[in-house]
Amino acid sequence: MSQAHESLENLLHEERCFAPGIEFAASANAQPEIYERAERDPLAFWQAQARELTWEQPWSAVLEWDMPYAKWFVGGKLNASVNALDRHVGQGRGDRVAFYFEGEPGDTQTITYAQLLMEVKKAANALTEIGITAGDRVAIYMPMIPEAAIAMLACARIGAPHSVVFGGFSADALLSRIQDADAKLVITADGGFRKGAAFALKPAVDEALKGKHNVEKVLVVARTKQETAWSDRDIWWHEIVDRQPLEHVAQSFDSEHPLFILYTSGTTAKPKGIFHTTGGYLTQVAYTHKVVFDIKAESDVYWCTADVGWITGHSYIVYGPLINGTTQVMYEGTPDTPHKGRIFEIIAKYGVTILYTAPTLIRTWMKWGDEFPCAHDLTTLRLLGSVGEPINPEAWMWYREIIGGNRCPIVDTWWQTETGAIMISPLPGITATKPGSAMGVLPGISAQVVDDSAKPVGNGRGGFLILDKPWPSMLRGIWGEDDRYKQTYWSRFEGIYFAGDGAKLDEDGAIWLLGRVDDVMNVSGHRISTTEVESALVSHEAVAEAAVVGAADAMTGQGIVAFVILRGGIAHADGEALLVELRNHVAKQIGPIAKPRQILIVNELPKTRSGKIMRRLLKDVAEDRQVGDATTLADPNVMKLIAAGLQSAKDED
């Protein structure tokens, strides 16, 4: 086998580099010695991080590792809710704001730690009255409102693992997750607000529960006050929670007690129930939140724009930030309602200092135009973060210049539902960052980029991203599917966790994520990442966003087909000349081998409700196949418009 087949091509090169500011570096939570300390004794390092939490009973061993099963802080006992709330109130920080909630219609709430603790205690008492006990699973299907976080923390308080299902999923998707976790209770709302209107959630729960299940009760938050069908199993949240006692004594649970199940898509139709336990997960999310975002809890206002239905919301809205006593913004709605400057308006309103968001949204802002962020005062921002997928260098630069005013460090983070917490990221007071690179593994983490034989590829090369040592927040398995856990994550390389992502090391050893290995294209024997071609396209001044797929080609094996969205103000006029210019631009940036066979200008890309681009559907279009299941898209009609546009382009040819 040739070398080209053993690893991924390393094509794009980035010379720009931004060192931390002197003042930022001097006061940063993480100082350079942290790397040496973690390297010298990783278990002692993690033990020190765990001691930052409140434990009722200490552990007897830091780690038991029986590949692929880990137990961290063995024998220790603690409570997640106590660590997130009680200890802050007990130490006199009850008046600190936990959440500034901004509803899409403009309604607001300011919730202190003392108030949040009181609501969680009442909710925990309500769950107990309903009959939920430690070990029972609870499905949560909610809009982005404070009760979603309250429900999660109440479950954690009584030891009932929660399974949060994103509020945009269908009744069938909800039912499959209820069945797999064997949930006893569903917590939902009558609906929520999105794009300027109320949407219903309760009907999807009712539809889902027509299937086979063991759900006994449905607890419903009255958010929109819309007409809602009712049955004997339904209970209004306010009717049972509001009358509960204000006191609840939390029980501590074993460090390895399951905290939550979170479903992620699988290669088969059945989603994977990733489950995380308590002690190790809380240790790593609190540590990473503190050092990656340089949290100063007394002064920062932090905003992670994710939904609690995703792992980002679990780790960096609910558990990590609250354990660290952080003040946060929570927003219910969409970025363009009632106008395209809504996010920036909220940043200015609350004086947000740290913003953590997705490259998809950053590129959307680029597409809309600079005038929207520039119309608002963003000078309170001091640090920016990105999460969810690799960020194109030019989108990174736009984020830095337009949102961050050329003064904010950017932490580009890599991690997964499975890893539980951030694994690869710059540390903002230490790392000199390159646009588009996640830079390096965090202290305490061990990762490598390897070839097909699991040998490290070395600088200047690309390959497979693997994790070769256990970490505290790692998944403990796939719920109820032990063999699937071993096959999915531990069979590609013996004794090594394979993340499913490709990565490259540049000449300086910085890590560049290349997306899913499934998305790698094989063009005339060259294995090219879709991410690098997309980055080359976005580096052109006319392009806001791009998605690239490999389509079957009789001559080259696969041909590169690109779908691009133009920036605001760029007309489609003289489209053919622009397409030629874009193809040549990619060839100049990367090389002739990466020149797209075809480029199609589109108004939108097929994205899931979490913002991920579904390249599988674009590949169907590019290869003239019937488009597959599009029900998980935020807008299923997008594929019809893309297919029509591609057909029109072919007709013109």
Indicate the residue type of 602: V
Own/partner contacts of 230-237, CB < 8 Å, gap of 24 or more, are: 231/206, 233/209, 235/130, 237/126, 237/147, 237/187
In a domain, 347, yes or no: no
Query: pLDDT tens digits for 341-377?
Result: 999 999 999 999 999 999 989 989 999 999 999 999 9
Mean pLDDT of 200-213: 96
Among 229, 251, 273, the domain boundary falls at 251
The predicted pLDDT at position 267 comes to 43
Half-sphere CA count of 296, side-chain side, radius 13 A: 11
Reported confidence tier of residue 607, pLDDT bands at 50, 70, 90:
confident
In a domain, 558, yes or no: yes
Preceding peptide of 68 cis, ω within 30°: yes
Contact 34/427 with Cβ under 8 angstroms? Answer: yes
For residue 78, CA distances in Å to 164, 279, 419 come to: 22, 7, 21
Separation CA 224–CA 245 (nearest Å): 26
Residues 6+ apart with CB under 8 A from 402: 365, 370, 373, 374
For residue 517, CA distances in Å to 464, 528, 529, 608 come to: 8, 10, 8, 19
Most confident of the ranges 399-403, 498-502, 603-607: 399-403
Separation CA 218–CA 240 (nearest Å): 12
The predicted pLDDT at position 381 comes to 98
For residue 67, CA distances in Å to 368, 470, 490, 613 come to: 48, 9, 9, 34
Contact 57/240 with Cβ under 8 angstroms? Answer: no
In a domain, 581, yes or no: yes
Task: Give the closest residue to 167 by CA, choosing from 132, 191, 196, 134.
Answer: 191
CA-CA-CA-CA torsion for 619, 625, 629, 634, nearest 10 degrees? Answer: 50
497 beta partners: 467
Question: Which of 299-303, 552-556, 631-635 has the lowest average pLDDT?
Answer: 631-635
Residue 9 has pLDDT above 70, yes or no: no
Question: Which of 61-65, 417-421, 516-520 has the lowest average pLDDT?
Answer: 516-520
What percent of the chain shows pLDDT beyond 90?
A: 76
pTM of the model: 0.87
Separation CA 184–CA 173 (nearest Å): 17
What distance lies between CA 438 and its chain's CA centroid? 15
Name the one residue in this structure whose structure tokens are 């909610």.
142
Reported confidence tier of residue 641, pLDDT bands at 50, 70, 90:
confident
The predicted pLDDT at position 169 comes to 82
SS (H, E, C) 246-304: CCCCCCCEECCCEEEEEEECCCCCCCEEEEEECHHHHHHHHHHHHHHCCCCCCCCEEEE
Residue 82 has pLDDT above 80, yes or no: yes
Angle at 495 between CA 491 and CA 496, to 5 degrees: 80
Q: Where are the alpha helices (DSSP H) in 422-520?
A: 482-490
In a domain, 222, yes or no: yes
Residue 388 has pLDDT above 80, yes or no: yes
Query: pLDDT tens digits for 54-76?
Result: 999 999 999 999 999 999 999 99
In a domain, 124, yes or no: yes
Reported confidence tier of residue 8, pLDDT bands at 50, 70, 90:
low
Among 251, 286, 302, the domain boundary falls at 251
In a domain, 62, yes or no: no
Domain of 608 in residue numbering reads as 540-652
Reported confidence tier of residue 630, pLDDT bands at 50, 70, 90:
low
Separation CA 90–CA 81 (nearest Å): 13
User: How many C-beta atoms surround the C-beta of residue 62 within 10 A?
Assistant: 19
Mean pLDDT of 304-309: 94
Mean pLDDT of 108-124: 98
Contact 21/407 with Cβ under 8 angstroms? Answer: yes
Residues 6+ apart with CB under 8 A from 144: 167, 192, 307, 308, 330, 331, 332, 333
Residue 327 has pLDDT above 90, yes or no: yes
Mean pLDDT of 385-414: 95
Reported confidence tier of residue 241, pLDDT bands at 50, 70, 90:
very high
The predicted pLDDT at position 328 comes to 98
In a domain, 479, yes or no: no
Most confident of the ranges 421-430, 484-493, 507-516, 533-542: 421-430
Query: pLDDT tens digits for 265-279?
Result: 644 457 899 999 999
Indicate the residue type of 433: T
Burial class (CB in 10 A: 0-12, 13-18, 19+), 212: exposed
Tokens, residue 554? 């009789």
CATH code of 118's domain: 3.40.50.980
In a domain, 642, yes or no: yes
Computed over every residue of the chain, the mean pLDDT equals 91
Rounded to 10 deg, the angle between the 146-158 and 113-130 helix axes is 60
The predicted pLDDT at position 441 comes to 98
Query: pLDDT tens digits for 144-193?
Result: 999 999 999 999 999 999 999 988 888 888 999 999 999 999 999 999 99
Structural domain count, the chain: 2
Among 202, 217, 251, the domain boundary falls at 251
